[in-house]
Amino acid sequence: MWFLNPSGLWWLAACALVLLLYWLRPRRVPVVVPSVLLWRRTLQDPSLQRPARRFERSVLLLLQLLAVAAASVALARPQRLTAGSGDVVVVLDLGVRMQATDVRPSRFEAARLAASKFLAQVPASRVAVVAAARTPRLVHPLTPHREDALRALRELEPTDGPSDLEVAVRVARSLNPQARVHTFSDRASEQATPHMFGGPLEDVSITGLVASPLPGDRMRVAVTVRNSTAATRRVEVSVVVDGRPQGKLSLPVAPHAEATGKVAVPAGVWVEATLSGQDELPATDRYAALGTWRPPLRVLRVGAEDPYLERGLEVVAGTVDRARKVDPRSWAAFPVVVLHRAPPVDLPPGAYLLVNSPPANLPVRAAGTLPEDVVLHQSRTHVLLRFVNLLGVRVKRAWRMEARAGEVLAQGAAPLLWAYESDEVRVVVLPFSPSQSDLPLRPDFPIFLANALDWLAGPWASQVEAGRSVSVPSGALQEAVLHGPAGSVRVRSRAGRFMLPPFDRAGVYVLEAKGLQRVWAVHPSSAPVRGGLLTGAGAARKPASEQAPWLVGLFVGLLALEWWVFSSGAGRS
Amino acid sequence: MLLEPAFLEKLERLRLVVRRRMRGSVGERRSRALGRGVEFSDHRAYQVGDDWRYVDWSIYARLDRLFVKLFEEEEDTDVHLLLDASASMRFGSPSKLEYAKRLAAALGYVALANGDRVGAAAVHAGMVRTLPPRRGRAHAYHLFRFLEAEEAHGTTELEEAAKHFAPHRRGLVVALGDLLDPRGFQGFLKRLRHAGLEVFVVHLLAEEDLAPPQSGELRLVDAETGESVEVTVDEQLLRAFASQRDAFLEEARAFCARAGMAYVRATTALPVEDVVLRYLRQAGVVA
């Protein structure tokens, strides 16, 4: 048996108060007797004159003391140690709501402090720490060394993203199904002992930011604001484009409602809106989104020239560099490399459009030539063929593809368009030159090229919610730098990808390397802000080791018994 | 009506037994005075000053020692019924005073039926209200009315009352009360004894005297003085009280025994008839 809230035992001091009140107000019953002669003689015995005798054998006093003791112990939340429950797992909520300042200094800081104290005092053979973020993670495995777990706990920081407490508890349970799991959050979990922090929040937050293009190199920014307070608020919104203030909005927002305001600003890569004024959750007062401006795509064309291909690339890509010599070492600086009639070569990690160029290290091979063919079938779902119709395209000469993996997107007698994606490479293979088909004569050709380059290059910029983790194909690059709201970090390529740390803070993140730039506009979680919640019906369910309900029942029973004794006049023994 | 007719009939057959010599006029009381009376009672050794006329010479002839003959002398006796009518006597069911009245009436009737003079006195707060002694059965009516008129009130000041109780003739005094006098009952009884009276003590007790009325935190208020005592009644106190109570009762009994006084203890739970016909007879008070 141990106590979840040992400070609750201080209420036992109330027993002294009960005794004092009892001593001060004895409420003696007057009784007329024939004579007090014998009583005076009786009371000459010193042992009968002790003040403590007043408290002895009083059923009412005994019941009151027991009731106070039961309530005090219940407030201390005693826990019963069961067999196999020697392990304790602490789950700390890192969600954006934990940054609320309704608990000083913040819910998170209060929760972390409480978790540290709990972890230092809880009787357990081993302890572990789990962080409840968008993707819950094991911060420290079960260990008998508490200092290690405490150190890991102290290094945790809140995020601007949501938190999945239930999954975090499942992670904790996976360590040891018999372990006692304690959550430190503003919510409760069904399968854990909750330690709650925070109450209802007074919050005004930005929940949406969308930029749409306008003529004249401008864009319209729509800002959505939610008012979670009980009063109408007029909020001032500042709009920043690529780091420069560009506009302001003033919005009246009704209680528990949303309002959207629009403002025209110069086009930019990213836009950020900020609410003025203070509330209990400042983390939701900023919101970042992508602007409408896109940088031109830089493409390297290697191998022989094809006039139709050249023309098409010039139209679709921003910049086309050309190289006749096949030198894979020089390709790392280009997001997309286009090979035309190039000899088979081992492709380094990257994105490639192979036009009439059989690859050497892909699950496809050239099995002779194909004299003439017509596209009879094509994929209707792949993004490469969005708004593209290749049916009926005649091919005068091609090499015969035999694919062991990937996806054939167009086919006649043999595959005529093939796409493949792995951790290291993303490849589109066209087994013929445009000039050897009637494809360039169709309006689908530039659309197909644009789709292919977009797919190969990947999204240049994205808009994500805080807490997400992303990876980016690294191509031939070995190292990149990620700039974010909290500073810059170097990331190294692993298995052809840059595995970026989670975007825990809202803001703009830029990944830069030689010839590579990616942008993410990260916004805080827009989950409804509710404080002091008991989530779902399961929240009412207490862990089996919790003893407080029994003691509360005992307290109520003692009060009822005391009332009965008092009413029946049997209070004095 | 203090006594039922059937009970009165039974009382007709009883007589008071007095163990000390008493001085009286004509009556039916048997005295052990020397040289009086006609009925032989006993012998005792001769003492200086004894009347030579009562020496039993036949015994002297046989034993060569002087003995005198004792004769029971018939004489009338004053019987004084002394009731404690203080406030403490109203406790009990029936009250101790009511019980004392009936007992006094019974004893008075026995005495009147045997030709004795019977008087009565009630004690309140050190004062005495008296009914002078008279002889004859007709006096029973006055005696009963006197007793019926008594109400329990005032404090118990027995010794002070004894100062005001001065009978003209010696005789038997029957003291009925609970003896709960803060100044002690001994002085009262000694005064009666020193006045040459034969003393017969009827110690009356009610349930309230034997055990406390309830348990818990009590403020006990004296019915006579209004003084209060705060007590926490529990088993320990009950044991101590029972010990004090028993000591008090034993003290009364032992005092009377030492002083040659007849002593009978009765609780109001006992029927008066049983007390008179059974316990007083066993105690040698009536015969």
Chain A CB contacts of B231 under 8 Å are: 39, 43
Q: How far is A559 from chain B (nearest CA, A)?
A: 20
Full DSSP string of A58-69: BHHHHHHHHHHH
Q: Note the pLDDT of residue B237.
A: 86
Q: How far is B215 from chain A (nearest CA, A)?
A: 6
- The count of C-alpha atoms lying within 13 angstroms of the C-alpha of B95, restricted to the half-sphere facing its C-beta, is 16
* DSSP H stretches of helix in A411-517: 444-457
Chain B CB contacts of A29 under 8 Å are: 214, 216-219
Region of A192 on the Ramachandran plot (φ > 0 left; ψ -120 to 50 alpha; else beta): beta
Contact criterion met (CB < 8 Å) for A34 and B88: yes
Q: Note the pLDDT of residue A542.
A: 43
- Tokens 């008075």 correspond to B108
Which of A53-57, A181-185, A493-497, A532-536 bottoms out in mean pLDDT, i.e. has the lowest?
A532-536
Contact criterion met (CB < 8 Å) for B216 and A572: yes
Contact criterion met (CB < 8 Å) for B219 and A29: yes
Contact criterion met (CB < 8 Å) for B220 and A56: no
Residue range A205-212: mean pLDDT, rounded: 91
* pLDDT band at residue A502 under the 50/70/90 scheme: confident
Chain A CB contacts of B237 under 8 Å are: 42, 48
* pLDDT band at residue B116 under the 50/70/90 scheme: confident
A216 exposure class (CB count in 10 Å sphere: 0-12, 13-18, 19+): exposed
Please give the angle made by the CA atoms of A555, A557 and A560, to the nearest 5 degrees.
Answer: 110
Q: Which distant-in-sequence residues (6+ apart) come within 8 Å of B239 by Cβ?
A: none
Host H or E run for residue A232: none
Contact criterion met (CB < 8 Å) for A34 and B237: no
Residue A105: is the preceding peptide bond cis (ω within 30°)?
Answer: yes
**Cβ–Cβ < 8 Å for B111, B286:** no
Given a cut of 90, whether residue A311 has pLDDT beyond it is yes
DSSP secondary structure letter of residue A255: T
Contact criterion met (CB < 8 Å) for A36 and B228: yes
Q: Which of A56, A76, A87 is closest to A11 using CA atoms?
A: A76
Given a cut of 50, whether residue B26 has pLDDT beyond it is no
Q: Using CB atoms, which residue from B91, B215, B240 is nearest to A34?
A: B91
Residue of chain A minimizing CA distance to B86: A34
Chain B CB contacts of A45 under 8 Å are: 240
**Cβ–Cβ < 8 Å for B146, B57:** no
- How far CA B104 is from CA of B97, B99, B279, in Å, comes to 10, 9, 15
Chain A CB contacts of B241 under 8 Å are: 38-39, 42
3-state secondary structure at position A550: helix
Region of B196 on the Ramachandran plot (φ > 0 left; ψ -120 to 50 alpha; else beta): left
Tell me, what's the ipTM?
0.79
Strand order in the sheet with B198-205: B127-134, B117-124, B78-84, B171-177, B198-205, B262-267
Contact criterion met (CB < 8 Å) for A36 and B222: yes
* pLDDT band at residue A224 under the 50/70/90 scheme: very high
Which of A189-198, A461-470, A537-546 bottoms out in mean pLDDT, i.e. has the lowest?
A537-546
**pLDDT one-digit tens code per residue, A111-166:** 999 999 998 888 888 899 999 988 888 999 999 888 999 999 999 999 998 888 98
Chain B contact present for A565, CB below 8 A: no
3-state secondary structure at position A334: coil
Q: Which distant-in-sequence residues (6+ apart) come within 8 Å of B190 by Cβ?
A: B259
Structure tokens at A204: 């005004």
Judge if pTM exceeds 0.80. no
Chain B CB contacts of A566 under 8 Å are: none
Best residue of B91, B95, B217, B246 to probe chain A, by most A CBs closer than 10 Å: B217
Between A and B, how many CB-CB pairs are < 8 A? 111
Best residue of B96, B180, B232 to probe chain A, by most A CBs closer than 10 Å: B232
Q: Note the pLDDT of residue A236.
A: 92
Best residue of A28, A29, A33 to probe chain B, by most B CBs closer than 10 Å: A33
Q: Which distant-in-sequence residues (6+ apart) come within 8 Å of A256 by Cβ?
A: A227, A228, A229, A230
Top pLDDT among B57 and A497 is at B57
Buried-state track A364-393, b at ≥16 Cβ within 10 A, e below 16: bebeeebeebebeebbeebebbeebebeeb
Contact criterion met (CB < 8 Å) for B178 and A26: no
3-state secondary structure at position A515: coil
Q: Which of A375, A379, A367, A373 is closest to A419 using CA atoms?
A: A379
Q: Note the pLDDT of residue A485.
A: 87
Chain B CB contacts of A27 under 8 Å are: 217
**Cβ–Cβ < 8 Å for A500, A469:** yes
Structure tokens at A306: 């094809």
Q: Using CB atoms, which residue from B206, B215, B229 is nearest to A36?
A: B229
Give the gyration radius of chain A's Cα atoms. 36
- How far CA B285 is from CA of A354, B110, B134, in Å, comes to 144, 11, 21
Q: Note the pLDDT of residue B20.
A: 42
**Cβ–Cβ < 8 Å for A434, A308:** yes
Chain B CB contacts of A573 under 8 Å are: 215-216, 234
Q: Using CB atoms, which residue from B89, B217, B236 is nearest to A29?
A: B217
**What's the whole-number average pLDDT of chain A?**
85
Residue of chain A minimizing CA distance to B238: A42
